[in-house]
């Protein structure tokens, strides 16, 4: 249900997307340069920029709820598979299910930092850290 909700929250289109990307949120998570950010958020049109940043922020804040849901599913699934199959390798998936949300949360901190500073263009450190956490 959260995935479907995100379809209505995150912007469905952007003025410009980096080559190879079809959706703004995926492009934003993997964005490489300040120029790509500014083009994607249409920095010349302040109203459009602010609306897109607002939609991204709402979606990224709601993503923290999602970060509780998907690891719980993966954790339950991996523990069940380990128990039923007697294969201990499924426990590695359980560890990943706990580690991945931490990186996802830190990724969202960077995305929120970029949108907070988009008007000034002062988000170089967030852009560098975004690559690490994504």
> What is residue 37's predicted lDDT score, i.e. its pLDDT?
95
Q: Map out the domains of the chain as residue ranges.
A: 2-133
Cβ pair 8, 58 in contact under 8 A = no
pLDDT, tens digit, for every residue of 64-121? Answer: 999 989 899 988 999 899 999 999 899 888 888 888 899 999 999 999 999 999 999 9
Q: Is the pLDDT of residue 43 over 80?
A: no
pLDDT band, very low/low/confident/very high, at 44 (cuts 50, 70, 90): confident
What pLDDT sits at residue 2? 85
Burial 1-22 (b: 16+ CB within 10 A, else e): eeeeeeeebbbeebeebbeebe
Question: Per residue in 73-88, pLDDT tens?
Answer: 988 999 899 999 999 8
Task: Please say whether the beta carbons of 111 and 31 come within 8 A.
Answer: no
Q: What HEC string does 92-119 produce? A: HHHHHHHHHHHHHHHHHHHHHHHHHCCC
């Amino acid at each position: 249900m959260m995935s479907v909700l995100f379809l209505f929250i995150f912007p469905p289109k952007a003025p410009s997307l980096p080559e190879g990307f079809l959706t703004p949120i995926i492009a934003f998570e993997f964005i490489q340069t300040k120029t790509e950010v500014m083009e994607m958020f249409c920095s010349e049109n302040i109203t459009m920029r602010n609306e897109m940043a607002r939609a991204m922020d709402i979606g990224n804040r709601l993503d923290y709820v999602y970060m509780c849901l998907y690891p719980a599913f993966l954790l339950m699934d991996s523990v069940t598979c380990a128990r039923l199959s007697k294969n201990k390798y499924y426990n590695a998936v359980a560890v990943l299910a706990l580690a991945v949300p931490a990186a996802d949360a830190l990724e969202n901190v960077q995305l929120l930092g970029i949108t907070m500073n988009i008007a000034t263009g002062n988000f170089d450190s967030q852009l560098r850290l975004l690559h690490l956490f994504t």
